Amino acid sequence: MKVLIDRKKCTLCGICVDVCPFAAIAVGETTIEVSDDCTLCGMCVDTCEFRALTLPEVGTGPAADLATYRGLWVFAEWREGVVHRVSHELLSTGRRLADKLGVSLAAVLLGYQLNEDAIRELIAHGADTVYVVDHPELAHFRDDAYAKVVVELVREKRPEILLAGATAIGRSFIPRVAASLGTGLTADCTELDVNEEGLLLQTRPAFGGNVMATIICPNQRPQMATVRPKVMKPLRRPDHQGETVPVTVPDACLASRIEVLEVVPEKDQTAKLTEADAIVSGGRGLQKPENFVLIEELAQLLRAAVGASRGAVEEGWIAPSHQVGQTGRTVSPALYMAVGIAGAIQHLVGMQSSNVIVAVNKDPMAPIFEVATYGVVADLFEFIPAFVRRIKQERGDSG
Amino acid sequence: MDYFLTEEQKMIQELAEQIAREKIRPVRAELDQNDEFPWEILKVLAQSDLYGLYIPEAYGGMGGGILENCLAVEQLARACVGVATSFAASGLGAYPLLLFGSEDQKQRYLPDIASGKRLAAFALTEPGAGSDVSGVKTTAVRNGDHYLLNGTKQWITNGGEAEIYTVLALTDRAKGPRGASFFVVEKGDPGFAFGKKEKKLGIRASATRELLFQDCRIPADRLISREGMGFIIAMKTFDKSRPGIGALGVGLAQGAMELAIEYARTREQFGKPIINFQAVQHKLANMAIKTEAARALVYAIARYMDSEPPDVSKYAAMAKVFPADVAMEVTIEAVQVLGGYGYMQDYPVEKMMRDAKILQIYEGTNEIQRNIIGQELNKEYGRKKETFF
Amino acid sequence: MHIAVCIKQVPDAKNVRIDPETHTLVRQGVESIVNPFDLFAVEAALKLKDTVGARITVLTMGPPQADEALREALSRGVDEAVLLSDRAFAGSDTWATATTLAGAIRKLGEVDLVLCGKQAIDGDTAQVGPEVATLLDLPYATFVKKIELLDERHLKVMRQTDEGVELWKLPLPALVTVIKELGEPRLPSLRHKMRAKKTEIPVWGIADLGLEPTMVGLAGSFTQVVRVFSPPRRSDRILLQGTVEEQAEQLYRYLKEAKVPGL
């Protein structure tokens, strides 16, 4: 299986040769050949201005009853008595897509002793229907029970699209739902849209975040995707109306082979990076562990969480739970300030989808400036105190 | 340069280099600052099967020779000579057993040393016996089924951390050099204690302590070989271990040189990287020539010694002397190339310079080595029926 | 106890970057490495081997050169390795990959525990582990940082969640995906390195696994990439000029205008 070449459209310009990560394309005076090294990654397809390259069709043809699947669903995540905000973000996006497709939007809520307010909030974010499965066996998340319930509901109601938050819970059981249903799943999408044929276009970062890939699931239903929290914007429609549909599922769905022995909330709540609206991160540019107080002071003023680059964590200046990056946490807060951080790819991957990024670094060539909305080329030991003074001045604080 | 090593020898190099890079380099400055013994790293070395490179398979070792050991030691020394010394010194302590121990003794001690479970140490030096080993005063008196040891050993590498000590003591003072014998003393033997840990100029990660014997009582079967074999065992042990010291020198010189080259390529003065200036180029060239020469010498001698020739003292001495001098010269020059930065503790070269000095002193000072070589040349040429000229 | 560990050989992501001028992917002799998270899975298996004794088989699906990744695992003490390689596997999405791995695990037979790394650094989906578990109908736990064998048929695992940790009990056979908090992977040992070099690694293709061409590779995939593009560059990037005081002033104003939280 290799990428397909339309030789009538190909002009032998050779741009695809440079872009191929596996050196699988060879262009000569009059020929173009793709070797067996082609892995169907798709890098060349988008680069070709003449649209001469396409990927072969996936799968073995559409499932017979594709058209009978209608409706867009969002899995609403309930934990510790509240619905996680990612569900509201997803419903807002879901509303937009459902309107485009001309179908209804439903939320699926699993848990125990689910309250009215939570359900109403789901409707207020756009759900036309909320399927409520309230049962003591669902009081605490377990992969198999949650997956079986959702699978049962999907088989019964046949939505064409199912979205869920890429949280610890979502990333854990949604793949099982997809596998059980025999359908495709795309994780960590950063953009969702629908095309003219009504197919869900799922866009996500690839190759460590250096490129974006758009993915479709043409032949299976429902088309499934997970989205990271804080990537989509919640939009509240307080006047929106919807209905609540309590659902009972067969006992077999609730049976689980897993026994939850203990749940221990993390003592160190100070990190909470993934939930923070603002983060101030420090890196090797701070030079000494004592200098982290600069970051902490600024973070406190901005009511932000404290983050760190891998370099700072490896030096032992701050605990690993604060690490932002490929092997740390991925965050996308409204404000991300990178102080004394060079911006290695592994760090950028963890924060580049933040809304407003501020970079402070004395090296103008630091890669962090590539992704910063506001770049400050300055000595952080001078700039940060100056910025802190400015903020305090506004608030009328002394000193 | 390709030394046409076997697959297995290359694997030893790769593994030792990986450990040096991933485990030693990140902590070497801290170990040096705190005089801290590198137990964690020694555990990794044990788990990697590197301890028993020179020990026969029958005793749990890898069945390699001196060259294999040198290859590993060289890579470790590139990162830190203090750590590499702690590792190599266990080999030094093991050699008396390996060369002269009874089958029972070998079975009892070598497997643990080969697996890194127990560290060994070699105890010869005393306050009155440095270069002049005949100045040894520690005594071992036979008393029925045991010996009583009395005396003090000084500056023993791995002292206090090792569990197995091969100790030279006088069993018959009247016989002079023929009156010394080697014993195995274990940590915990009654009457065996340690002095304070020494504070040194360099190789601070290596632990150096006095050994104190006060009516230290050990079973008679701890005697290695026969009474009176002491100095012979010591000399044969040194023959085997000296190339390892050479390897330490080669690794140290290599590490220092690499830092100097990197620095010279990035440090800009007068509008360009300083490596563009002849003065610097010549310094680096000399470092490279000396390091490669030292390496070639150590490998050649190690290979030769692994063929078990009868008389190796001259070559063993050469394998130690030259690389030790090279390491001292190269590290001094490395500090010079790094200039002001080289003098600061933030950069690793000042430690390397401090570490290098001991190579010219321990395991037989370079002066003694040259004595040995000179005397051997005399003997050698005395035996020749005719010379070339 | 028989443990199967699934690993993947991936391009070293830090060498894959975008050329700042042409905005296209630059390949500079991109090296292949064992997916870092999978090394933690191998370490988890070796820890169990140390404490309770186990036979470990490592598997990977990939091109012929993926056997290097298997040898890396062997050099750390893993007992056996299997390479799943066939042209038919090319173009697999996570589902097709899971189908192939599940087929291999079935063929291995009598596997008590399957271990995987949390996710691969090229795909980042974290889906393959749970999908393999579903195909084999195994109970599973994800994001695990500690594994303990309670008795012959039960496992206790500590999972990392967004709020803290949870302790779960699972019956064997089961599947577990691990995170880096599980522990530093040990370095290779000389004996194992030498053995790894000499080991003959069997290669299983589509016929060996008893799978149909429609179940694997591109044909067996449900999702497909239709477009790959560089992320749109931030067009609103501003470099603040002037003295430190002036920069602080400007930044304050911009952030206030942008209504960032906290100000």
Q: Rg for chain B (alpha carbons), in Å?
A: 21
Q: Which residues of B3-34 are buried (b: 16+ CB within 10 A; e: fewer)?
A: eeeeebbebbbbbbbebbeebbbebbeebbee
Q: Which of residues 48-87 of B touch C (CB under 8 A)?
A: 48-50, 53, 62
Q: Which of residues 77-136 of A touch C (CB under 8 A)?
A: 79-80
What pLDDT, in 10s, does the model give residues B95-153? 999 999 999 999 999 999 999 999 999 999 999 999 998 899 999 999 999 999 999 99
Task: Please answer yes or no on whether C189 and B49 come within 8 Å at the CB atom.
Answer: yes
- Distances from the Cα of A291 to the Cαs of A294, A380, B45, B267, in angstroms? 6, 10, 36, 27
Interface membership of A344 toward C (CB under 8 Å): yes
Task: Please answer yes or no on whether C16 and A356 come within 8 Å at the CB atom.
Answer: no
Give all strands (DSSP E) within chain B, no chain letters. 120-123, 139-143, 146-157, 164-170, 180-186, 192-197, 208-219, 223-224, 268-269, 272-273
Mutation for testing the B interface, residue in C39, C50, C190 having most B CBs under 10 Å: C190
- What is the DSSP secondary-structure string of C15-62? G-EE-TTT-SEE-SSPPEEE-HHHHHHHHHHHHHHHHH--EEEEEEES
Task: Please answer yes or no on whether B49 and C187 come within 8 Å at the CB atom.
Answer: no
- Of C139, C92, C118, the C-alpha closest to C7 is C118
Interface membership of A67 toward C (CB under 8 Å): no
Residue A350: predicted pLDDT: 82
Give the residue carrying structure tokens 């070796």.
Answer: C46
* A335 membership: H or E segment, kind and range: strand A335-339
d(CA A140, CA A154): 21
Chain length of chain A: 399
- Distances from the Cα of A197 to the Cαs of A216, A222, A387, in angstroms? 11, 15, 51
Task: Please answer yes or no on whether A263 and C126 come within 8 Å at the CB atom.
Answer: no
Question: How many beta-carbon pairs under 8 angstroms link B with C?
Answer: 35
Chain length of chain B: 389
Q: Which of residues 178-197 of A touch C (CB under 8 A)?
A: 178-180, 182-188
Please, are residues A256 and A137 in contact by the beta-carbon 8 Å criterion? yes
- Of A324, A368, A313, A387, the C-alpha closest to A350 is A324
Interface membership of C172 toward A (CB under 8 Å): no
CA angle A369, A372, A373 (to 5 degrees): 135
Q: Rg for chain A (alpha carbons), in Å?
A: 24
pLDDT in tens, chain A (399 residues): 688 888 888 988 888 888 787 778 888 888 888 887 777 777 788 778 888 888 777 766 676 678 889 999 999 999 878 898 899 999 999 999 999 999 999 999 999 988 888 999 999 999 999 999 999 988 888 888 999 999 999 999 999 999 999 888 898 899 999 999 999 999 888 889 999 888 999 998 776 666 788 899 999 999 999 998 877 888 999 899 999 999 998 888 888 888 889 888 876 554 578 778 899 999 999 988 889 999 999 999 999 999 999 889 878 888 877 889 876 787 888 899 999 999 887 788 788 878 899 999 988 888 899 889 999 999 999 999 999 999 988 887 654
Task: Please answer yes or no on whether B11 and C190 come within 8 Å at the CB atom.
Answer: yes
Which residue of chain C has the CA closest to A141?
C166
d(CA A212, CA A46): 11
d(CA A354, CA A76): 23
Partners of A90 in beta bridges: none
Task: Please answer yes or no on whether B50 and C190 come within 8 Å at the CB atom.
Answer: yes
Q: Which of residues 41-60 of A touch C (CB under 8 A)?
A: 41-43, 45-47, 55-60
Q: Is B363 a catalytic residue?
A: yes
CA angle B241, B247, B251 (to 5 degrees): 150
Please, are residues A367 and A347 in contact by the beta-carbon 8 Å criterion? no
CA angle A116, A117, A123 (to 5 degrees): 95
The torsion of the CA quartet C230, C234, C235, C236, rounded to 10 degrees, works out to 180
What pLDDT, in 10s, does the model give residues C81-97? 999 999 888 878 889 99
B12 closest CB neighbour out of C190, C192, C197: C190
In this prediction the pTM is 0.81
Task: Please answer yes or no on whether C263 and A346 come within 8 Å at the CB atom.
Answer: no
Interface membership of C188 toward B (CB under 8 Å): yes
What are the chain B neighbours of C190 within 8 Å (beta carbons)? 11-12, 15, 48-50, 53, 62
Task: Please answer yes or no on whether C167 and A1 come within 8 Å at the CB atom.
Answer: no
Nearest CA-CA distance, residue B19 and chain C, Å: 8
What are the chain A neighbours of C161 within 8 Å (beta carbons)? 168-169
What are the chain B neighbours of C189 within 8 Å (beta carbons)? 15, 47-49
Token code pair at residue A294: 């600069």
Please, are residues B193 and B248 in contact by the beta-carbon 8 Å criterion? no
Q: Which residues contact B64 (CB under 8 A, 6 or more apart)?
A: B8, B12, B53, B54
d(CA C192, CA A296): 47
d(CA C51, CA A47): 53
Nearest CA-CA distance, residue C190 and chain B, Å: 5
Task: Please answer yes or no on whether A206 and C125 come within 8 Å at the CB atom.
Answer: no
